[in-house]
Amino acid sequence: MLLRNLSFRHGSLSYIHYRLIHTPARVRFAPSPTGQLHLGGLRTALFNYLLAKKTGGQFILRIEDTDQSRYVEGAVESLIRALNWAGIYHDEGPDVNGPHVPYYQSQRTELYRDHAKKLLENGHAYRCFCTPERLSQVRESRQKAGNYIAYDKHCSYLSDEEVQANMDRQLPYTIRLRVPYDGHIEHQDLVYGHIKFSNKTMEDTILIKSDGYPTYHLANVVDDHQMEITHVLRGEEWLSSTPKHLLLYKALNWKPPLFAHLPLLLNMDGSKLSKRSGDVHVEQYIKRGYLPEAINNFVGLLGWNPNQSEQLFTMDELIQEFDIKDINHSGAVVDQQKLDWINKYHLLKRAETTEGLNSLVDMLKPLVDNDYGSKLQNTPYEYRTDTAYLYRVIDTIKERIRNIHDIPTLCRYYFEEPNYQSADALALKKKLKAPALDLIKDEQFLNHLESIEPFKAETIKSILFKEAETKQMNANHIMMALRYMTTGSKVGAGVAETMETLGKETVMNRLRYLN
């Protein structure tokens, strides 16, 4: 049973916080190569990275691939691509030389076996020869009796002679941690505070499987010690494993690192966010057009609150503001609308510079080529796939979109003729005023509009306002009629700015088409 006491002991926490802010942190992100990086994994990697950079320490990437049955080909490369896309670069890892190579656990198995042997020798572990059939029977029997500890310590009672006899018969065995019967393990978690674990609630967990490979528990502890990890930031689901790890540190006479367990990620309805859901994988966010700086900003706020009203951060600002004491222990809700809002902010920040706008063009062009390239090829409008035109489109519409993917879907009129029979167009048409439509259909007005040179937004607006004043009409009515006739959509930037981007020829063709 897990006992939590959240009334912190200030003396110990003061020392811990001193270590946090004055000691360069060596941290690690240790994913299993079982698929794509999900949002929770990215949050863990980001928080570790922020702590390392905040304290002038190092961020290590370690691949925990001891479960070969779950290994997915190409998963490691996919993980590294996703982290690099997010700007979370590791100082040591499988593709970066470091003092603790190799960084694949499957290549460190002899090291784990050596330490398991030491645990056997000092009595902190024992060989378990129980068959799968017996383990299943024991588990079922104990569950029926209301005992949630699945194993009954049967093999811990074997004499040395019995163990040797089983070894001579070459019976398969696992190596289990020998958990003391009495007592408890206390732990000062950097997020959850003082936590007390009763030994009676802990199972003699397996350290080495019958195939000779280590379990997560042993490999994790050995690697963290060997790689000089000072802080372990990981998901809340590992909180219940912490006493086992602390027992291992004690059995091996090692000083444990500081632990911080990050809160669960939740859906909007309060249910746990599943890593097996395809729409929470980082690669899906990349494909859907979210910016890395927006994803980092969004993920950084999942469980971390810098105690200020500001919600918008660059990576440098996240590093500057990050402090483990500001991590909450309550679940963090993944709010898609908040992500869209954050993404819009960072899109506008990018669009403030020529370099940033060009990067957005690089994202938009493949989308436009895919949706419209073949239709526009070898036509007078092929220029609509050119980078110069796309640059103008983004610069015009940036205030009205949340994601670069909005442009080819919501602003189709930049690339093809408007569909005046669409629901959007028909709804807009119903709002138009007859005097405004009559004015736009007037040949003299059209000729005046066509004579504008250069065809710029300011000049267009000046003429439209003068026409409205002369005709004693509402200028907004004229603008709405022009929006309908040039775009067929209520979604868009200012009318004059849209007309400038579309170009005089396209605008006049569309106006005369409806006359």
Catalytic residues: 275
Q: Report helix angle 216-226 to 109-121, nearest 10.
A: 100
Cα distances from 34 to residues 42, 174, 177, 390, in angstroms, run 15, 24, 26, 39
Q: How far apart are CA 301 and CA 295, in angstroms?
A: 10
Are the C-beta atoms of residues 62 and 223 closer than 8 Å to each other? yes
Q: How far apart are CA 472 and CA 129, in angstroms?
A: 96
Peptide linkage before 102 cis (omega within 30 of 0): yes
- The residue written with tokens 């503001």 in the block is 321
Question: What are the two backbone dihedrals, phi and then psi, of residue 158, each rounded to the nearest 5 degrees?
Answer: -65, 140
DSSP-derived secondary structure for 23-75:
S--EEEE---SSSPPBHHHHHHHHHHHHHHHHHT-EEEE-B----GGG--TTH
Q: How far apart are CA 177 and CA 218, in angstroms?
A: 9
DSSP state of 304: B
Question: What are the two backbone dihedrals, phi and then psi, of residue 378, each rounded to the nearest 5 degrees?
Answer: 60, 30
Structure tokens at 289: 């057009």
Q: How far apart are CA 227 and CA 221, in angstroms?
A: 10
- The residue written with tokens 């602390």 in the block is 246
Q: Strands 231-235 and 258-262, how do they pair?
A: parallel
* Helix residue ranges, H only, 279-413: 282-287, 292-300, 315-321, 336-350, 354-376, 387-397, 406-410
Nearest in space to 80 (alpha carbons), one of 99, 111, 104:
104
Q: How far apart are CA 372 and CA 409, in angstroms?
A: 11
Total Cβ atoms within 10 A of residue 72: 13
